[in-house]
Amino acid sequence: MDVVAEDETLIVTAREVTRLWWVFLVTGIAWVLISFMVLAFKPTTPATIGYLTGFVLIAAGVNEFIAIGFTEGLKWLHAVLGVLFVVAGIMALTSPFQTFGILALLIGWYLLFKGTFDIILSIMERDLVPLWGLALASGIIEVALAMWALGYPGRSAWLLVLWIGITALMHGVTEIVMAFKLRGARAGLV
């Protein structure tokens, strides 16, 4: 008898979550629009990049707060990330020049470490992963981009804008796909 009650509770919860599929659609479209705006900017001034970063971080924080309503177990993690993103965004808006310099260096170092680990893991897993060569190529490209970006801060600016724009675009497309998956799941539950 308890199993039937649990199944009914899960169905009701699933209906409630899938009822709000359009929230993911709206936020996904907003992320895509943000990515187009970011990619349209020319990084001529560090302040522009700092302000863009601040707005993107605040949008990511708001998105994490929205995600709290759609998760079961890790609500605290979304809340912590939301607070961190919003605080970092406000700090970026208050000091855009420092934001630019720090982010440009962080992106370069991030790509260097990530690329190095991707190279190592792809070689270690070459017997387990059929497409290990793609991970190896990706790691090599990441290391090359890191060296290129760390060599001159002006190049880091372009890389920073590209990274923010592409990340926002991927996030938006992911949320739009999620919206339509939820919408399809909702049709199956009714």
In a domain, 82, yes or no: no
Q: What is the pLDDT of residue 86?
A: 92
In a domain, 116, yes or no: yes
In a domain, 71, yes or no: no
In a domain, 55, yes or no: no
In a domain, 184, yes or no: yes
In a domain, 12, yes or no: yes
Instruction: Give the model confidence (pLDDT) of 73-83 as tens digits.
Output: 778 888 998 89
Q: Where in the sequence is the domain holding 113, given as residue range(s)?
A: 2-44+96-189
* Helical pair 75-94 and 46-68, crossing angle rounded to 10 deg: 160
Instruction: Give the model confidence (pLDDT) of 136-168 as tens digits.
Output: 888 898 888 888 777 776 666 677 777 777 878
C-alpha distance across the termini of the chain, in Å: 23
Q: Is the entire prediction scored with pTM above 0.85? A: no
The Cα 68–Cα 72 span in angstroms is 8
Q: Is the pLDDT higher at 66 or at 9? A: 66
Token pair belonging to 97 = 């020049």
Q: What is the pLDDT of residue 179?
A: 85
Whether residue 18 is predicted with pLDDT greater than 60 in this model: the reply is yes
Q: Is the pLDDT higher at 45 or at 112? A: 112
In a domain, 176, yes or no: yes
Instruction: Give the model confidence (pLDDT) of 83-103 as tens digits.
Output: 998 998 898 888 887 777 777
Reported as a pLDDT band with limits 50, 70 and 90, residue 29 is very high
In a domain, 113, yes or no: yes
**DSSP state letters, 61-101:** HHHHHHHHTT-SS-HHHHHHHHHHHHHHHHHHHH-HHHHHH
Number of domains in the chain: 1
Instruction: Give the model confidence (pLDDT) of 99-127 as tens digits.
Output: 777 777 777 787 788 889 889 988 998 88
